[in-house]
Structure 1
Amino acid sequence: MNHEAPKALQRPLTHFARLFLHRWPWMLAGTLLTLATLLANIGLLSLSGWFITATALAGLGLIVGLDIYVPGGGIRFFALARTLSRYGERLVTHEATFRLLADIRCWLFRRLAQQDPLSLGRLRGGDLLNRLTADIEALDNLYIRVIGPTIAALLAGLVAMALLGWVDGRMALVALGLLLVGALLTWDAARRGRRSGQRMSHLQPRFRAVIIEGVRGLAELRVYGGGERQRRLIGQHGRAWSQLQRRMAHLTGVGNALNGLAGQLALFAALILGLWLHQQQAITGPQWVLTLFALMGLAEALAPLPLAFQFLGRTRSAATRLLEQAEHPVQVHSPRSPQGMPERFDIELRRVTYGYHAGRPVLSNYSLHITQGRQLAITGPSGLGKTTLLKLLARLDDPWAGTIRVDGVDLRELALTDWHQRIGMLEQHAPVFSDSVAGNLRVAAPDAGEERLWEALRIAGLDERVRAMPEGLATWLGEAGATVSGGEARRLALARVILHDPDIVLLDEPAAGLDGDSARALAARLQHWLRGRTAIIVSHDPDWLPPMDAVLDWSRIDHR
């Protein structure tokens, strides 16, 4: 694991705040515009209050020689400045937030791409999706609602204190008191919302996973009568989620009430103090009103902070989850000084032991030798380690003991990227991307022309089906290949392997979902394509297989 990971997990928000620094021009511009909006609001309120009071007193003859043009111009300036700065603040802060979230998504995806598939496979689909979406989106609270507004409100508070201190130093104490109470309420909101926010962050991925799995497995749930159980499970998570939302809404209401009360108490204190100062002739009537309206503007600047910090616990929990996934130790990695790729691909397993759980090996002291250009079929029931063997050969994980050698070179001494370029693997759960047919195929060969695409589809036995689609190769397949059957999805994945043109072919149940005639037709096409390649085909049914150099009945081998 990265040595910075433990420290980062202790202070996850600080870690992401540092990631934000390269966007400092946008963040600084957004914060300055937020500050300008707050100052314009305070200036507009205080100057308007002073001007209205002064003109009223001038009308009564209590003020002589009042200049209405300068304060009138100031009011128009602050009104226009508030409108423009508010528009600019919304524009810049949201643009900054979108850029920051995009940076985090790219950063996380780069980290995930470096991890081995088995580590990623430990997460449920909904959980991983939640980390890529909701957890990242939760971080928008960090800048747009916490960092920027807090800095701007603090600076605006200092300016308000200076303004009130210019009127009378004792009035500045009221502003200081409002700032301190606002800070206390913000801290209390963060404390009260921490536990509920963390629970929301942990419940949301489970809730989403339950819904996604229910939708994807709807047909199976109907067939096996599991719909009612799934409905109860969704309802249980939904009620828990609603309870947390009600809890947060209650905290929001209490926080808003306390925040409003603090503002009113500050106004009342300024009212009483201002009355006494006015009686002492320390301030004028218009100055007294100016202080009241300035405090109103300061209270408005502090009002959003408790709500933002109330959800800081959820933001922190989301940041922790992202860091846990990003800093997850990579089990399989390239050596620092990899050896060159061998000229031959003779593969040898020497006393390999491997399993998924400690003390429960799937393979134990297993040995196998495959000469370059030979084709091997492995048959037998599920659960004996056939798929595990393919994963080890593809180096999706390393064996607990023993070695896998390629032309005498330990597989762990070869660069992962070089090895993966030489192999083509069809897994049991091959993905179909939300893309066109051509886009799915070009994952294996980005520069492949249409002729190569059609040839790969022909060998996989999918060309006629694609030609019948409305837009042929450009037909959009939908999320997880929603518009194709399971058998068609596997043949599309097989066509991707064929397009990759590998030296070593690893096929796990390539005929799954096909009837007997279709499977035998596929075998005939594969026979020609496999010529000269090293191949291992795993299948439950040996009847459909193309002619192989050897067929290994896995159930008759004492590989445990």
Structure 2
Amino acid sequence: MASTESSTTKSTKRLTILLELIGFIKPYKVTVMAAFIALIFTATVMLSVGQGVRILIDDGFAQQSYEQLREAIFFILGITVLIATGTFFRFYLVSWLGERVSADIRLAVFNHVITLHPSYFETHGSGDIMSRITTDTTLLQSIIGSSFSMAMRSALIFLGALAMLFATNIKLTLIVMASVPFVLIPLLVYGRRVRALSRKSQDSMADVGSYAGEAIEHIKTVQSYTREVEEKRSFSIEVEKSFAIGKNRIKQRATLIAGVILIVFSAITGMLWVGGSDVISGQMSGGDLAAFVFYAILVGSSLATISEVFGQLQQAAGATERLVEILQEKSHILPPESHSISTASLTAEITFKNVTFHYPSRPNQPATTLLSLIAEQGKVLALVGPSGAGKTTLFELIQRFYDPQSGSITLGGTDIRQIDPNDLRKQMALVPQQPALFSHDVFHNIRYGNPDASDEDVINAAKKAHAHEFILKLPEGYKSFLGERGVRLSGGQRQRIAIARAILKDPKILLLDEATSALDSESEHHVQQALQALMKGRTTLIIAHRLSTIQHADKIAVLDNGQLIDIGSHQHLMETSELYQRLVELQFRQM
């Protein structure tokens, strides 16, 4: 019973994959129809070559007639021109379709991925996702734009040539047809193996890409700890694993193709013996035998092509499964099903009420437990506590990257689950401790906070963040390319670019993850002034480590193990909270 259900599930999955691909091809049905017409035309004309061969032998050679020979030659030449013309249109249209559908799938997967909940990326590496977007879609491009066309052409030629075989000589055709069941057996048996190995091969290649990407991303750490030799060795192991799977897949495909060719052409050889005997005995003409051999070769080569393409299609099925898995992934963070509440009329007061939350990847380890806390409108709330206290978790919950398992978070008294996540996040600006910069110029990175901002607005924001001076010293000023993750800037410079981005967004709520931690004392002084001006009239939450940050906060919340230990002013906490006293003492030691 379980086996039956499993088989049904697999069949359903295959059907879903097929429907997904049809969905991407459907918008281009005119192109598909034109390609199909070109395909039918080319296959039909190809079959006419057999008749040209028959005329050439029976009317040209047998009759010793130059005129008949000339007519047969011109007939075959005309057919060749038509085949070339039809092939041009077939190849162009189908290749265009492959490129277009591949691009559409790549776009659809990327557009879907960037809307998924962050917990998805806790269990799926960026290398694996990139492999699906690039490698898998490129494979589908090859299949749709080439292999599928070859399979369709071969199928049409197979059916047409088979019909011509029956029309030419039934007895010989039955000899050829006797081999067909033997061809289907390796197609079915090895085809399944190839599909399974193709999926494993794609997954293995993703692992290789992930490993290489991670090592390159952390190249300074690798070289600082002189781990180059170990990384080479480990990467070699990953590459060899992928090669072993690929080698097995190739072996299965090679066995499949060789088996089909052996069976088909053995049948043709047997047919030639019987047909040759019939020509000698006068039961059929040499032209009929030549035409029959031509059609038999078309049947054999078509089956060989189909068997080869069948292996490629199985490989594509593995790639399609991986792509469809992403497309079918549902985001856990969705806008409310009924009418969402606009943030325009809500105050910028954030309230946590009995919030308990654990990350999906750590279900038995709560990040917060029954936490209640209020960030008052227009006030500054500093969050302090040891590592793992839950400070960053609160920022992620406020932005609704996750929903708590119990309790509620409200904005202006409205549960944020009743607000569209996009609308909610537009009211906030985050400056993380490690700023995220893009491989683009300064204008792009600052304007990320407000795509509609003018160049003048960007420059003003940079001035407020005390970034303008060092930006002008860059090779091309605001048009300078910053490199991957802003690698061409210092830590303090990256931080000030991120602060300028937040200033440009002009939000109701500021989320600062110790935004001045990477600055020197002079820069910190200037940026603190800029931030204080920016924070006026805005609700601000700060993950604080430095005393300078703590002192200007209206309230300080002390967190530990996901729980609120105490809250109050600096002076109050120095008198009542042992944990806060210890944190302040440690900071003075570091100073």
Q: Match for 2:340: what amino acid?
A: P
Deviations 1:427-450 (A, max 9, x none): 455432333322233333222111
Q: What CA distance in whole angstroms lies between the structure 1 residues aligned with 2:561 and 2:282?
A: 105
Aligned to 1:16: 20
RMSD, aligned CA: 2.8
Q: Match for 1:392: what amino acid?
A: L
Q: What CA distance in whole angstroms lies between the structure 2 residues aligned with 1:52 and 1:441?
A: 78
On the 8 A contact 1:459/1:495 being kept in 2, the answer is yes
Alignment pair present for 1:484 and 2:489: yes
TM-aligned CA deviation for residue 134 of structure 1: 1.6
TM-aligned CA deviation for residue 46 of structure 1: 5.9
Higher RCO (C-alpha under 8 Å, 6+ residues apart): 1
Q: What CA distance in whole angstroms lies between the structure 2 residues aligned with 1:8 and 1:474?
A: 52
Aligned to 2:254: 253
Q: What CA distance in whole angstroms lies between the structure 2 residues aligned with 1:437 and 1:261?
A: 64
Mean CA deviation greater in 339-348 or 411-420: 339-348
Deviations 1:317-365 (A, max 9, x none): 3222222222223221111222233331221111111121223211111
Aligned to 2:340: 338
Give runs of aligned pairs for residues 459-474 of structure 1, distance below 5 A.
459-474=464-479
Alignment match of 1:377 (pick from 371, 379, 382): 382
Cα pair distance change 1:429/1:137, threshold 3 Å? farther
On the 8 A contact 1:146/1:305 being kept in 2, the answer is no
Alignment match of 1:350 (pick from 333, 338, 353): 353
Cα pair distance change 1:45/1:329, threshold 3 Å? same
TM-aligned CA deviation for residue 54 of structure 1: 4.7
Q: What CA distance in whole angstroms lies between the structure 1 residues aligned with 2:434 and 2:40?
A: 53
Give runs of aligned pairs for residues 136-151 of structure 1, distance below 5 A.
136-140=137-141, 142-145=143-146, 147-151=148-152
Q: Match for 1:270: what amino acid?
A: M
Cα pair distance change 1:531/1:96, threshold 3 Å? same
Aligned to 2:165: 164
5+ unaligned residues in a row in structure 2: which ranges?
1-8, 566-591
TM-aligned CA deviation for residue 167 of structure 1: 1.8
Q: What CA distance in whole angstroms lies between the structure 2 residues aligned with 1:184 and 1:32?
A: 32
On the 8 A contact 2:431/2:502 being kept in 1, the answer is yes
Q: Match for 2:195: what amino acid?
A: R
On the 8 A contact 1:434/1:481 being kept in 2, the answer is yes
Q: What CA distance in whole angstroms lies between the structure 2 residues aligned with 1:37 and 1:448?
A: 56
Mean CA deviation greater in 386-395 or 256-265: 256-265
Alignment pair present for 1:495 and 2:500: yes
Q: What CA distance in whole angstroms lies between the structure 1 residues aligned with 2:22 and 2:562?
A: 56
Deviations 1:449-480 (A, max 9, x none): 11111122223333223222232232233443
Aligned to 1:187: 188
TM-aligned CA deviation for residue 33 of structure 1: 3.2
TM-aligned CA deviation for residue 10 of structure 1: 5.4
> What percentage of aligned pairs have identical amino acids?
22
Q: What CA distance in whole angstroms lies between the structure 2 residues aligned with 1:181 and 1:53?
A: 34
Deviations 1:127-162 (A, max 9, x none): 121122122223235534554333332221121122
4+ residue segments displaced more than 6 Å: 5-8
Aligned to 2:328: 327
Alignment pair present for 1:212 and 2:209: no
Alignment match of 1:25 (pick from 8, 23, 30): 30
Q: Aligned to 1:133, what secondary structure does the other structure show?
A: helix
Q: Match for 2:485: what amino acid?
A: A
Aligned to 1:293: 294
On the 8 A contact 1:49/1:293 being kept in 2, the answer is no
On the 8 A contact 2:370/2:563 being kept in 1, the answer is no
Q: What CA distance in whole angstroms lies between the structure 2 residues aligned with 1:459 and 1:526?
A: 9
On the 8 A contact 1:190/1:310 being kept in 2, the answer is yes
Deviations 1:6-41 (A, max 9, x none): 986454532333322333332333344344444444
Aligned to 2:233: 232
Q: What CA distance in whole angstroms lies between the structure 2 residues aligned with 1:182 and 1:143?
A: 24
Deviations 1:511-553 (A, max 9, x none): 2432233223211111112211111121332335683323334
On the 8 A contact 1:436/1:474 being kept in 2, the answer is yes
On the 8 A contact 1:141/1:312 being kept in 2, the answer is no
Alignment pair present for 1:542 and 2:535: no
TM-aligned CA deviation for residue 180 of structure 1: 5.0
Give runs of aligned pairs for residues 126-145 of structure 1, distance below 5 A.
126-140=127-141, 142-145=143-146
Q: What CA distance in whole angstroms lies between the structure 1 residues aligned with 2:352 and 2:267?
A: 79
Aligned to 1:102: 103
Aligned to 1:406: 411
Q: Match for 2:367: what amino acid?
A: V
Give the length in aligned residue pairs: 552
Alignment pair present for 1:114 and 2:118: no
